[in-house]
A and B are shown apart, each in its own frame.
Chain A
Amino acid sequence: MLVIIVPGGVMTEKSIQVNVEKIREILDKNNGARIRTWLSICSRCGLCAESCLFYLANDRNPRFAPAYKVQRTLGTIYKKKGKVTPEFLMECYDIAWGECTTCKRCSLFCPFGIDIASMISLVRTICYSQGLVPEGLARTLPNYEKFGNQMAVSKEDLIETCEWMVEEAADYVKGVTIPLDVAGARYMYTINPREVMFYPQDLGMAAQIFTVAGESWTIPTSGWDSTNLAMFAGANELAGTVADRMYKKALELGVEAILITECGHAMRSAGYEGPYLAGYRNGRPPVPVVHSVQLFYEYLRDGKIQIDPAKRIDAPVTYQDPCNVSRNAGLWEQGREILKFVCNDFRDMSPNRHYNHCCGGGGGFIPMGGPFRKRRLRAGRVKAEQIRKTGAKIVVTPCHNCYDQLNDLNKEYDLGVRIVSLKELLVETMIVPDHLRPDSAGDERQEG
């Protein structure tokens, strides 16, 4: 197994030097009433095991029971007061990133409500302090520092991509724009850099939807990346900076709210973890945070966007609840409401809503890349079986990580489905009002 030290270089058991002082400092800082209570009252009833996708996907091997994972890692580190061996740290690394996506499902199945995901996140923080971070995550950290986004996109690249997408989107919606740095807009739309780098059409589709809905929105040229892989890397200080950059920009522009693109963990960062990481004592973001799924639902509910009855989808559709949008942000009905407008044959997975299973790509798993790929696809078995059972041909999900993972699962488990984001779905089915129809393009709409 390759492990890297931040900012570079390969690490093995032999090259790890355990800094006990540093570990103790972290242990002490976090040794609050919650962790003390959680670690001491776990009754080892095993109810958490069945809730965990890793346990289920790995043939119910008890080693994957959340209670074990946390006792084996954080429980042991506390017991040993931070005096751990390099081999042990490697094991913690392996469990914290390779066997848990911090989806928080087990907390809903624990009689005491023990928050295992938070404790696994702390294990990540401890590993990070010792230079142990999956390479795929570590690679993004300097980018966050230097460029303010995980993929080292420059301001020029962002602006150029936006301009390019405006040109393309103009074929479908007249007068479409992507307003940059507009002070006083209603929403500051924050995105995932992969949209700029690999899926620029996402920006174009967003522009079309916002234009049709008559929205007042803007993309800022700094603080626009709402992802926060530093949060998943255990790099808490940087994670706080990343979240705060976005808050500060929103305050500077004086917007009503930060709008999050179809990304799960961005919502978790901006709305929930970010304020704490960035040191806001009240634990609340200084500017309200809204996820796309909420806004899109409101557009349909309020008639700001109307669906063309002729374009409603007949194929069976299912909805993948991203953990960080549904369970961890309380937004599970909005997606389903949207689908009521758009499709004729909706089939829910089971379990669903806040009880959904993680797709197996969360918690940083997707960007962790190659070394973790096998385990990620294995963990996704639960989701693949859920999808297959619905018989759906289209899986809709408002999360980039889910999107990537589902596409991989589609191939790996031969599901024969199409993975679609809400933006794609809306752009394919919405009515473009007459006054916004391009003069030459007529009725031709883009196809998936």
Chain B
Amino acid sequence: MNWDYAYDFLLSRGTWISFGIFILGLIVRCIYLYGVSLERDRIVYNHVKWSWAIRSILFWLIPLGSRSWRQQPLFSIAVFVFHVTFIFVPLFLSAHNVLWESAWGVSLWSMNDKLADTLTIAFMVSALVLLWRRIAKPEVRFLSTWWDYVLLILCALPFVTGFLAYHQIGPYKPTMVVHLLSAEILLIVIPFSKLAHMVLYFFTRAFMGFEMGGRRNTPCW
């Protein structure tokens, strides 16, 4: 196996392909759903009240922000840490920003490596909590399908491999190949799986805000 070749491919064309599918996939899915909704979901547009939609979205983003979250505080906090670090670390990692800079000549603010390291550990801990919960809680275990486990592992892989590579644990190149490969598979999978909730969340929550709040004055958090 030529690790260098794989690494170069994933870093160059692989990035383009995966980001392309990720972004286009989400856009197409949203446009498609929007089209369908015009025809079959009039209810979505009949009771629009933004103040309710915004609260419906926000209260569920805040840890312990909804009654449901407060009933399971550990889960709520783990979910919060998982999501925040999942978005924050890859975007603001200095190593990633060096890559953006060399590829496009633009980069975002980048955090120092110590912070990145801490956040990565936080991510891995939160992922473990989610995994443990999925297995330990009877109702969650019962509901879970093999796909739920695969997706959780897929989400965690880029972080674990990135962490290992940074700390020079294990063979560097193969680790980096797995890092790139898992991250790119993840990007490709997002638009076509439940992970599309990264965008659809805002729509379903907005609708619940309209439906319960806009229509019935009932908070849905």
The interface of chain A, by Cβ under 8 A from chain B, is 29-34, 36-38, 40-47, 49-51, 55, 60, 62-63, 65, 67-68, 71, 104, 107-115, 272, 276, 281-284, 327-330, 354-355
Q: Are A44 and B40 interface neighbours, CB within 8 A? A: no
Q: Chain B nearest CB: distance from A78 CB in Å? A: 14
Q: Chain B nearest CB: distance from A72 CB in Å? A: 10
Compute how far the CA of A26 lies from the CA of B137 in the bound complex, rounded to whole angstroms. Answer: 36
Would you list 25 pairs from A and B whose C-beta atoms are within 8 A, ordered by A residue? A32-B37, A34-B41, A34-B43, A34-B204, A37-B203, A41-B196, A41-B200, A41-B201, A43-B148, A44-B148, A47-B68, A51-B68, A65-B139, A68-B142, A71-B143, A108-B67, A108-B212, A109-B67, A111-B60, A111-B79, A111-B201, A113-B208, A113-B212, A283-B42, A330-B218
Compute how far the CA of A47 lies from the CA of B79 in the bound complex, rounded to whole angstroms. Answer: 12
Q: Are A33 and B71 interface neighbours, CB within 8 A? A: no
Q: Are A60 and B41 interface neighbours, CB within 8 A? A: no
Compute how far the CA of A284 lies from the CA of B44 in the bound complex, rounded to whole angstroms. Answer: 13
Give how many B residues have a beta carbon under 8 Å from the other chain's beta carbons: 53
Pick the contact of A33: B37, B47, B194 (CB < 8 A): B37
Q: Chain B nearest CB: distance from A182 CB in Å? A: 30
Residues of A within 8 A of B60 (CB): 111, 113
Q: Are B43 and A33 interface neighbours, CB within 8 A? A: no
Q: Are B140 and A44 interface neighbours, CB within 8 A? A: yes
Name the residue among A36, A50, A276, A355 with the largest chain B CB count within 10 angstroms: A36
Output the nearest chain B residue to A43 by Cβ-Cβ distance: B194
Fill in one digit per residue for B194-221: 1 if any A CB lies within 8 Å of its CB, else 0: 1011001101110111011001111111
Residues of A within 8 A of B56 (CB): 113
Q: Are A113 and B205 interface neighbours, CB within 8 A? A: yes
Q: Chain A nearest CB: distance from B24 CB in Å? A: 18
18 other A-B residue contacts (CB within 8 Å) besides A41-B197, A62-B143, A327-B218: A32-B41, A33-B34, A43-B194, A45-B75, A46-B137, A50-B72, A51-B68, A62-B141, A107-B220, A108-B67, A108-B219, A109-B71, A111-B60, A112-B201, A113-B56, A115-B211, A272-B216, A283-B42
Interface SS of B by simple majority: helix
Q: Are A113 and B41 interface neighbours, CB within 8 A? A: no
Q: Are B142 and A107 interface neighbours, CB within 8 A? A: no
Compute how far the CA of A276 lies from the CA of B203 in the bound complex, rounded to whole angstroms. Answer: 21
Q: Are B40 and A33 interface neighbours, CB within 8 A? A: yes
Residues of A within 8 A of B212 (CB): 104, 107-108, 113
Q: Chain B nearest CB: distance from A118 CB in Å? A: 9
Q: Does B145 contact A (CB under 8 A)?
A: yes
The interface of chain B, by Cβ under 8 A from chain A, is 33-34, 36-37, 39-44, 46-47, 56, 60, 66-69, 71-72, 75, 79, 137-145, 148, 193-194, 196-197, 200-201, 203-205, 207-209, 211-212, 215-221
Q: Are A42 and B194 interface neighbours, CB within 8 A? A: yes
Residues of A within 8 A of B41 (CB): 32-34
Q: Are A112 and B143 interface neighbours, CB within 8 A? A: no
Q: Are B68 and A114 interface neighbours, CB within 8 A? A: no
Q: Are A31 and B68 interface neighbours, CB within 8 A? A: no
Residues of B within 8 A of A281 (CB): 42
Q: Are B40 and A32 interface neighbours, CB within 8 A? A: yes
Q: Are B33 and A37 interface neighbours, CB within 8 A? A: yes
Q: Are B218 and A46 interface neighbours, CB within 8 A? A: no
Q: Chain B nearest CB: distance from A236 CB in Å? A: 14
Pick the contact of A112: B42, B67, B71, B205 (CB < 8 A): B205
Residues of A within 8 A of B221 (CB): 108
Q: Are A33 and B67 interface neighbours, CB within 8 A? A: no
Output the nearest chain A residue to B201 by Cβ-Cβ distance: A112
Pick the contact of A43: B197, B207, B220 (CB < 8 A): B197
Residues of A within 8 A of B203 (CB): 33, 37
Q: Are A65 and B208 interface neighbours, CB within 8 A? A: no
Residues of A within 8 A of B216 (CB): 272, 327-330
Residues of A within 8 A of B201 (CB): 41, 111-112
Residues of B within 8 A of A43 (CB): 148, 194, 197
Residues of B within 8 A of A329 (CB): 216
Q: Are A49 and B139 interface neighbours, CB within 8 A? A: yes
Residues of A within 8 A of B142 (CB): 62-63, 65, 68
Given A65-B143, A283-B42, A41 contacting B194 (CB threshold 8 A): yes
Compute how far the CA of A107 lies from the CA of B221 in the bound complex, rounded to whole angstroms. Answer: 9
Name the residue among B43, B72, B148, B218 with the largest chain A CB count within 10 angstroms: B218
Given A108-B68, A113-B220, A114-B204, A45 contacting B197 (CB threshold 8 A): no
